[in-house]
Amino acid sequence: MSPALDPRSREAVESYVDDTLRSMPEYLRAGVLGESLLFGAGPRLAHALGRQDHAGLRTRIDGWRTSRIDFVRQYVRLLQSLVLFAENELAPSGT
């Protein structure tokens, strides 16, 4: 969700998101896990078949962001808000 970060900043953001998700109550983590498995199946399959397309993934995420289904939109918003917060709070001020 954040392609412009340098590797060190990306690692800090990923660590923050991971730690935050781990600190969530079990029932919330179960929901996020289920959605991650469901929504990640298509991209994983495309990658396994050698059809990985970053533009297609971006289009897919944009579709989830504007979905009529609440839990789909909420899943994307959760992850984007965690990434955005981490980018602004943890990334060095030069990025």
Classified as helix, coil or strand, 23 is coil
Mean pLDDT by 10 residues, the chain (95 residues): 73 90 92 90 84 76 90 91 88 55
Range of the domain at 60: 7-90
User: How many domains is the chain built from?
Assistant: 1
The helix/strand/coil state of 49 is coil
Task: With respect to residue 95, please indicate whether it lies within any of the assigned structural domains.
Answer: no
For residue 75, tell me if it sits in a domain.
yes
User: Is 2 within a domain?
Assistant: no
Does 34 reside within a domain?
yes
